[in-house]
Structure 1
């Protein structure tokens, strides 16, 4: 296995989950203004250790899925699942088999509070030698086994019990082989992928899970999750960013991740996108985590000509790693030309996709400087940005 393994994640979202109410599969039920699936995907989409992210959806759920997700560089087209969870996971594994990863994570769409640390620990446990690794938390209640009449027939030793969660991590070839063998043998009804690996004879390692990584099943679970989101994200911060670039010879400029034809280019180390640079600095400012030059020094040749969406995605990843989310990004472009208005919506959509939020959280405005100063003399252009973020309270 390579020193830095190729890691993919499968998020299982093919179930019906109707016990949660709301008249639709629970993964598409709204939670704090966004579908549950969107919350479950967010940390994966901004995790630097993942190179592929695949969602397995139910037959006929394509429109619900399309409305629930924001595109990202790692997100692959969805795959249709089967009648059981096992069949759905196998469908996802087969979709990855053409370019197989070293490690695959499997996560339930009904767990919206997965943390970057838990993903890190899952990957690390397999990368250091385990063939299967699952997060588990200690059981605090006394557990009873009962017969069909409800009579207690045993009391397991609580110290040896763990409540198992997702994401579960596996060596990809071993999990694919185990699922194929189970399907060929007619084995159905195993409730998680660790059970499939146990059936196939593989050892499974348990690493510490997180008590907050809960699974939403019933209406009251959604109510509790909503209250948690409302009260936990109470550290509200605002950061500002500013960037400027001089014009030079060229035939286009980049603004908000959109290539815009122009009679000049910009003088810059990267692609010179003042909008994405200002937005990146605004988010970094809200996190009190340096500026764009701290993370991407202009003295480093690897960033020469780099696409600025990488910078903004990095800032979004830092925000997600701290359990935060973007509440609002407001950008103002200052230039005499080119005209921003015709490209405004494309810029909003592109930035929303990079940041993993809806376009309703991205504002783009433009103004001139009334022919005063360097922008008024058409010597360059500038952008200002303000980012409002919410972080878990201390």
Structure 2
């Protein structure tokens, strides 16, 4: 049986001191900052452990007086920590079942320990009794002394991470006499003469200590999606019907049949944007059975789609659309279309690309019986923490 203990009993003082003045006072407990998919930092760390196939249960050591803030129905236990890391770790390990052969101890401020790293630690702990993941330092390290400083051999220097793993009896013995000077549990094992096996750490297993550390997780939490849109309209038999493509009218050209202005190019782009954001499609939001959309300018649909995306936290990264038609020649009006579309999307025109191709006389499009358009839209949602 393998049990993990999530250490969340720290004070977050360094994080709080590093926050900019504009950062809300009630969000200066770093473990309660929400990151990926709305989860707090400690919740992400808990779920990384609980979802691992080799971990049977996870317990939580919470700050004094804050047990309720760390409640999880699926936690093995939630208990108050002590005045030091060693004391909190000892409290947590003592709460694990005696049947547990391996106990992992993990910092709640490391929300994304990779599954492969966890597996390496468990395997090494079973073999050696104690194991810690470490990364070899890449910077030159200098040791400062009274009369100057000396350069240390970085080939022998490694930065320790968590989770660290131990046979239960080994870590209980090590923590029993540990003092407040230990900064991780592996050092407590070393102080009683134990050997700690080193396994490869992972650069992605970052720890959040100061406000600036959030930048890495903010980048990870941003999301990019791509949507595809397609639309087709037949030629209208109404000689007065206007041809509108990308919000731009082409006077004297044969128009297309449709409930709105039949702007096939814009319709494809609207569908691509809605699809990327999982917000349905153009027919769902602007049905051709609704009289209010009769002869409506399709740029209205594009503007509405942009607002829907914005309301869900999305912004447009780029749009690439292709018109499939035997007529008209876009020529220099291509840039006019790009500018009209970009204006409605509130993006620079260089983020909108318009292409056109014929059907080489083949099929319905080649016989000028209609037009089609395809579009690909890329959108992005930035983290809000």
TM-score when scaled to structure 2?
A: 0.54
Give 1:148 deviation, angstroms: 5.5
Contact 2:114 2:204 (8 Å CA) reproduced: no
Equivalent pairs counted in the alignment come to 220
Determine the structure 2 residue equivalent to 1:172.
168
Once residues 171 and 104 of structure 1 are traced to their aligned partners in structure 2, the CA distance between those partners, rounded to angstroms, is 6
Give 1:134 deviation, angstroms: 0.5
Contact 1:16 1:26 (8 Å CA) reproduced: no
Once residues 213 and 106 of structure 2 are traced to their aligned partners in structure 1, the CA distance between those partners, rounded to angstroms, is 18
Contact 1:45 1:53 (8 Å CA) reproduced: yes
Mapped pair 1:162 → 2:153:
no
Determine the structure 2 residue equivalent to 1:206.
198
Once residues 114 and 216 of structure 2 are traced to their aligned partners in structure 1, the CA distance between those partners, rounded to angstroms, is 18
Show the 5 A alignment for 1:105-144: 105-127=104-126, 129-144=127-142
Determine the structure 2 residue equivalent to 1:380.
none
Once residues 59 and 188 of structure 1 are traced to their aligned partners in structure 2, the CA distance between those partners, rounded to angstroms, is 17
Residues 11, 148 of structure 1: alpha-carbon distance in 2 compared, 3 angstrom cutoff = farther
Summarize deviations over 1:141-184 as a string: whole Å, max 9, x none. 000000368x31x22111111111001011110110111133xx
Contact 2:31 2:41 (8 Å CA) reproduced: yes
Contact 1:10 1:104 (8 Å CA) reproduced: yes
Show the 5 A alignment for 1:1-394: 6-21=1-16, 23=25, 24-32=28-36, 33-66=38-71, 69=72, 71-72=73-74, 75-96=75-96, 98-127=97-126, 129-147=127-145, 151-152=148-149, 154-182=150-178, 187-230=179-222, 234=224
Summarize deviations over 1:360-386 as a string: whole Å, max 9, x none. xxxxxxxxxxxxxxxxxxxxxxxxxxx
Contact 1:18 1:26 (8 Å CA) reproduced: no
TM-score when scaled to structure 1?
A: 0.53
Once residues 130 and 189 of structure 2 are traced to their aligned partners in structure 1, the CA distance between those partners, rounded to angstroms, is 7
SS at match of 2:222: helix
Contact 2:60 2:70 (8 Å CA) reproduced: no
SS at match of 2:175: helix
Residues 82, 155 of structure 1: alpha-carbon distance in 2 compared, 3 angstrom cutoff = same
Give 1:206 deviation, angstroms: 0.6
Summarize deviations over 1:218-264 as a string: whole Å, max 9, x none. 11111321112215xx5789xxxxxxxxxxxxxxxxxxxxxxxxxxx
Summarize deviations over 1:99-155 as a string: whole Å, max 9, x none. 34101111000001111111111111122x211110011110000000368x31x22
Once residues 192 and 108 of structure 2 are traced to their aligned partners in structure 1, the CA distance between those partners, rounded to angstroms, is 25
Give 1:77 deviation, angstroms: 2.3
Contact 2:143 2:151 (8 Å CA) reproduced: yes
Once residues 211 and 148 of structure 1 are traced to their aligned partners in structure 2, the CA distance between those partners, rounded to angstroms, is 33
